[in-house]
Amino acid sequence: MFELSFYLIFAVVTGLVTFIIIPRNLYKKFFLYGLLFGGIGDSVLASIFHFMGLLNYKNLGLTSIFGIFSFWTPVAWTFYFMIFFYFLPVRKYFLVPYILIFVALNYSVGMVMSQSGLYELVGGYKYVQPFVFLIWCSLSAWVFHKGEHRIMI
């Protein structure tokens, strides 16, 4: 039962955190960035790696989208990236450690999910996955900063 409800629980918890910490007047902006880089980004990456045979989600139940990933996975990534962008540092000095911490967090959660049988990393992808997260988070942060015109040295 836990396997079937994990994605929903994770999405609800991260969603509640965004409602608590992100001010109402800024919520729409962070939601749009989160949707673009989190929800859509996850859907694209999960689909690509699924069709390459490197990533297989398991225990999707009724929320399966074409057998590739759960409906709740992109929802959770949307909220997750909202938190990522909300706390994203302005100064470059803090930006690199911040991104590395989030990459480590992403990878750690992924390993826990993999060990729990929620998805399977095929072949050497478990060694490549941190670099995928690094590129994903770095590109997202760069686009966000360019969109906000607020990079400080």
Task: Check: CB of residue 59 under 8 Å from CB of residue 111.
Answer: no
How much is the average pLDDT of 7-14?
A: 88
Task: Label the pairing between strands 69-70 and 64-65.
Answer: antiparallel
Task: With respect to residue 59, please indicate whether it lies within any of the assigned structural domains.
Answer: yes
Per the domain annotation, does 115 fall within a domain?
yes
- Asked if 82 and 30 touch (Cβ cutoff 8 Å), the reply is yes
Q: Residue 41 pLDDT more than 80?
A: yes
| Whether pTM exceeds 0.75 | yes
Q: 98 versus 66: which is more confidently predicted?
A: 98
Residue 116 pLDDT > 60: yes
Is 103 part of any domain?
A: yes
Q: Is residue 33 part of a domain?
A: yes
Cα–Cα distances (Å) from 33 to 97, 101, 114, 125, in that order, read: 21, 20, 27, 27
Total number of domains constituting the chain: 1
In a domain, 20, yes or no: yes
For position 40, what pLDDT does the model report?
94
3-state SS string for 36-77? HHHHHHHHHHHHHHHHCCCEEECCCHHHEECCCEECHHHHHH
Q: For residue 64, what pLDDT is reported?
A: 73
Residue 48 lies in a domain: yes
Higher pLDDT, residue 122 or 132: 132
In terms of residue numbers, what domain contains 49? 2-148
pLDDT digits (tens, 9 = 90+) for 84-110: 999 999 888 899 999 999 999 999 988
Q: Give 59's pLDDT tier (boundaries 50, 70, 90).
A: low
Averaged pLDDT for residues 59-87? 85
Q: Contact at 8 Å (CB) between 130 and 103?
A: yes
Mean pLDDT, rounded, for 11-19: 94
139 domain residue, yes or no: yes
- Kindly state whether residue 153 falls inside one of the protein's structural domains: no
Average pLDDT over residues 40-57: 87
